[in-house]
Amino acid sequence: MSFVDATAVNVALPIMQRDLHASSAELQWVIEGYALFLAALVLVGGSLGDILGRKKMFVLGVVIFAIASGVCAIAPTIGFLIAARCVQGIGGALAVPESLALISSTFTGGERGKAIGTWSGFSSITGAAGPVIGGVLPQHASWRWVFVINIPIAIAVVLISWRNVPESKDSKAVRGIDWSGAVLATAGLGALVYGMIRLQSERSDRVGLAAAAGGVIILAIFVYAQMHERHPMMPPDLFRSRSFSIANLYTFLMYMALGGSLYFFPFVLIDVQKYTPTDAGAANLPFVVLVFLLSRWSGGLITRIGARAPLVIGATVAGVAFLLYSLPGIGGAYWTTYFAAVCTLGIGAAFFVAPLTTTVFDSSDPSQSGVASAINNAISRAAGLIAIAVLGIVLSAVFDRSFDARLAASHVAPGTTTLLARERDRLTPGTLPREVPAADRAAVNLALASGYLAGYRAVMYAAAGIAFGAALIALVLLPRKTRALSAAA
């Protein structure tokens, strides 16, 4: 359910923007609001599972997620939708870490790697359906149905889980919950992202700079507090394992590259390349199919050759894929533009997703599987959360420069330039304000499309650099063999 929602909502965003008359900043909060509470509270969710029972917390999270989905479906305004998405994040913070923790507590050794690979594969199946659903429903019905579909899925998940999934908890887990840490993490991430989103429209905005700086300070306080908290939600002892620390750094970098760059992909396809929502949703199908087909195989690699080689190969191939995403211009068939990039990214992800998760578990004590899973999930979600805001600054800076240059060269009417400056945050190619004269529309649309494509290319260059950095870290710092992982842990 989580994977369907994430991929479907991303594809539906351009349609939501037009329907709700949302600015680019407001639209980002549809994703960021969910990711903020998921990233900040997933550690608490993991701890609650260890103490109260992982199945109980998993089912509770699914129920909260489903109720919030129903509210999203009836949202009358963009603000209402953002608020409901935040509640979805709370539900996800309970459900997401428990799914992997239940697997980790049930399987051991080589079987654990295969089980996690199977989990990754079936996640990819549902992920494959998400983009198609996110394209078909907005095109032929409404984007609201993207949220409605979560309700029957949730009912099925609750029934299956309650009857067939064994309960699991940590009998040695401390009974305290670090609520102050949860508040600090939420406030710090929220302030940081709020500030960076404000800086996308005005790089010298004082409120944005102050909020971003305040977020960094609060997160520093959070780290300090975790080192002195009696029952920290992010136990510092776990990070004494070199493999655990490096695996989570690698997680942050790779999910920053993935989450931050692919957020903008549907906008390029729908607004710039003029794909239908259905075609845009289907564009990433080769990615999820390849991850599904290869995940179980790659999950078993770690028992034979260790974690380092798959992680280095995966990040390197992903970096090449991001460069391929940057090549197409405006126009051209999907098969000759983005198909090779999508397939290459799928191969790269298949190499690192399951081995990375297995490395995290193998580097921690089985009794702490819930919190280890939660930390890794929190880091991956926080990476995407921060990346969308950071790479949004990159995109907006390049877009502004390119758009202004092309608009000036087009010699549009002065009134058009003034209008576009005022409405810039809500502009998309093909949906210009009515006040734009007919004589200027073609030039403005071309400037918008070219400017957004230039910004998107800059984002993909940045994502490639991040991926190559992750590959270098894995190559230099990770042990070669799985046996070494246990020793380092």
Average pLDDT over residues 61-77: 94
User: Between these two residues, 121 and 248, which has the higher pLDDT value?
Assistant: 248
User: Between these two residues, 229 and 345, which has the higher pLDDT value?
Assistant: 345
Average pLDDT over residues 226-245: 84
Average pLDDT over residues 434-440: 77
pLDDT at 237 over 50: yes
Q: What confidence score (pLDDT) does residue 489 get?
A: 35
pLDDT tens-digit profile of 142-194? 899 999 989 998 999 999 888 888 787 766 666 677 888 889 999 999 999 99
Residues contacting residue 267 through CB under 8 Å, at least 6 positions apart: 13, 14, 428, 452, 456
pLDDT at 483 over 60: no
> Minimum mean pLDDT among 88-102, 161-175, 436-450: which range?
161-175
pLDDT tens-digit profile of 77-94? 999 999 999 999 999 888
> Minimum mean pLDDT among 118-122, 282-286, 366-370: which range?
366-370
Q: What confidence score (pLDDT) does residue 54 get?
A: 86
Q: How far is CA 346 from CA 28, 166, 171, 193, 294, in A?
A: 25, 33, 39, 28, 9
This prediction has a pTM of 0.83
Q: What confidence score (pLDDT) does residue 487 get?
A: 37
Comparing C-alpha atoms, which of 237, 238, 235, 252 is closest to residue 474? 252
Q: Residue 482 — pLDDT band, cuts 50, 70, 90?
A: very low
User: Between these two residues, 43 and 278, which has the higher pLDDT value?
Assistant: 278
Q: What confidence score (pLDDT) does residue 429 get?
A: 63
Interatomic CA distance for residues 7 and 133, integer angstroms:
9
DSSP state of 89: H
- Kindly report the number of other CB atoms within 10 A of residue 282's CB atom: 18
In the chain, helix, strand, coil percent, each to 5? Answer: 85, 0, 15
